[in-house]
Amino acid sequence: MIPATNQRPPATVLFIFGGSGDLNLRKLTPALYNLFIDKYLPERFAVVGLGRSPFTDDSFRERLLEGVQEFSRRKNGPDDTWKSFAPAISYMQMDVADETAYSKLSDFVGAKKKEWNEEPNVVFYLAVAPQLVPGIATNLGKLPLCGDKSHVRIVVEKPFGHDLKTAQELNSLLGGLFAEEQIYRIDHYLGKETVQNILALRFANSLFEPIWNRRYVEYVQITASETVGLEGRGGYYEGSGALRDMIQNHLLQMLCMVATEAPISFDANEVRNKKVDVLNAIRRIKPEQVKDVAVRGQYGPGEKEGKATPGYREEEGVKPDSATETFAAVKLFVDNWRWEDVPFYLRTGKSLPEKATLITIQFKPAPYYAFPEEATHSWEPNHLTIGIQPARDIRLQFQAKRPGQALAIDPVEMVFSYKDAYSVQEPEAYETLLLDVMTGDATLFMRADQVEAAWKVVTPILDAWADETPDFPNYAPGSWGPEAAMQLVEKDGFQWMTK
Ligand code: BG6
């Protein structure tokens, strides 16, 4: 989290593997640039893009500037900010499979140390395809420099493993090369301002916490819907699917924020311990229960704005009989004193009607016996909606008397909206996360045991799904997913909330 004191991190050299790739272009460099504008970057800072493409420093900087102009929340800083920022960027062409090439990195750090007369922090950011991670990490681990636990960190992007076994293997490989406190596993949802705010909402107020439990909460819903289809990511997504891509990480992490007990401090390990407790308390799904608590879907061909759109199976890089799900919905229970028997419904999908992430906490209905019958026609339980994106708001719905002589009741809303309450633009998730890596704050990153605990939650579903051929495609693009997803909540007497 950004320090309230605006204290800059110490001198840092940041190496980005996959320097010419999409993630750097769309997210990392725009984030660094915004940190630079806001004066959060270290005074002494160097970022080195590493990749196979042949760039010079200048052509690399130009490419990154295009990315900033297209994707950054600020296209241009004041005056000539880019010109002041650009000299910190350089490029090294490198074949990551070539073990001998890695000494160049130590040489670069050595030169900076001399130039700055200071031991810099060194961050290795692996913005590369998951299959390259073990090789790069192994080569980095051989550099004597990486033994310096207090100065050297490695950042690993998701997906973290393909299943529990591969995640454990990767954890054990990384654990043999680096100390856990050097490893920063990214889940970019944790960097989102509105996700972090869940802890503030719950624990900086006395209003919500007393009713935040099974006695008052009827259910919790978390929806992360996307309108986009594959966007050319067929190669990756085919081997992943919605459960692995979104639920195992982003949605379970949001569930943890909603369900966690209060940490006794915001120390990284304390917060993460509490979140692991939640994951470990999630009721294990038995193989025969999977069909009752998990729904998968895949979008077929359809039409968007009058134009025909391909079904998932027609997308590039996708098998014509693909069984990969582009939609997943699950019902989970957190079996502890606070949450026992409160259903947590999670759903996510591609090609849905809206791009929106929202969390709904529905409270148990108030008894209405005292009210005349006609007053109860529009009776609704209270709910609290946390708009993660794009709404970025918190809405509390309660009931009020409609003005007039009759005793009629209407649901009304109290709203807190970031946009209306604050004029400053909030930082992008990657700004927060990059700054945290540079300052050495791992609170918003996934610890090894968290990742494994999350895989354990979804493993029974993955196993059951792997054993059966689904009847795909089973939803139209632009719809809210397969019919069975509706039934998942309707059979419990509820509806999916879409706002
Ligand atoms: C990524 C997934 O982790 O999150 C993508 O791999 C998904 O498939 C993306 O589109 C969604 O992130 P956001 O921040 O746009 O909601």
Q: Which pTM was predicted?
A: 0.95
Q: Evaluate whether 478 touches 302 at the Cβ level (below 8 Å).
A: yes
Query: What's the rounded Cα separation, in Å, for the pair 181 and 178?
Result: 8
Please determine, for residue 62, whether its predicted confidence score (pLDDT) is greater than 50.
yes
Ligand 1: atom nearest CA of 236 is: 6
Tell how far the Cα of 241 is from the centroid of ligand 1, in angstroms: 12
Give the number of other CB atoms < 10 A from CB of residue 117: 8
Give distance in angstroms: CA of 462 to centre of ligand 1.
20
- How much is the pLDDT for 386? 98
Please give the Cα distance from 230 to 355 (Å, whole number): 14
The answer to whether residue 383 is catalytic is: no
pLDDT at 128 over 90: yes
Mutate to test the pocket of ligand 1, among 246, 325, 326, 347 (most ligand atoms within 8 A of CB): 246
Cβ < 6 A, ligand 1 pocket: 158, 226, 245, 357
Give the model's confidence band at 376: pLDDT under 50 very low, under 70 low, under 90 confident, else very high.
Answer: confident
- For the chain, list the domains and their CATH numbers: 12-157 (3.40.50.720), 191-427+448-490 (3.30.360.10)
Nearest CA to ligand 1 atom 13: 189
- The pLDDT assigned to 372 comes to 86
Mean pLDDT of 436-448: 95
Which residue among the candidates 151, 188, 250, 383 is catalytic per the annotation?
Answer: 250
Per-residue pLDDT tens digits for 273-296:
999 999 999 999 999 999 999 999
Other Cβ atoms closer than 10 A to 335: 13
For residue 455, the model assigns a pLDDT of: 98
pLDDT reading at 144 higher than 90: yes
Given pLDDT bands bounded at 50, 70 and 90, which one contains residue 369? confident
**Per-residue pLDDT at 2:** 47
CA 6 to chain centre: 25
Query: 213 versus 407: which is more confidently predicted?
Result: 213
The pLDDT, as a whole number, for residue 231 is 76
Counting from 1 in the atom list of ligand 1, the atom nearest the Cα of 249 is 3
Place of tokens 């990767």: 170
Please state, in angstroms and rounded to a whole number, the distance separating the CA atoms of residues 385 and 222.
10
Q: Per-residue pLDDT averaged across 475-494, rounded?
A: 97
Q: How far is the CA of 30 from the centre of ligand 1 (A)?
A: 17
What pLDDT is attached to residue 5? Answer: 55
How far is the C-alpha of 445 from the C-alpha of 26, rounded, in Å? 20
Radius of gyration of the chain (CA): 24
Residue 1 has pLDDT above 60, yes or no: no
Question: What average pLDDT is seen over the chain?
Answer: 94
Confidence check: pLDDT of 74 > 90 = no
Q: Give 291 Cα–ligand 1 centroid separation in angstroms.
A: 26
Q: Give the distance (Å) from ligand 1 centre to CA of residue 98.
A: 32
**Bridge partners (DSSP) listed for residue 410:** 400
122, 153 Cβ separation under 8 angstroms: yes
d(CA 264, CA 67): 41
Give the bridge partners for 183, in sequence order: 154
Whether the upstream peptide bond of residue 411 has omega within 30° of 0, thus cis, is: no
Q: Are strands 12-17 and 121-126 parallel, antiparallel or unpaired?
A: parallel
**Ligand 1 atom nearest residue 189's Cα:** 14
Joined together, the tokens standing for residue 361 give 């906490």
Residue in this structure with the two tokens 């008052």, named with its chain if needed: 216
Which residue, judged by its Cα, is nearest atom 2 of ligand 1?
245
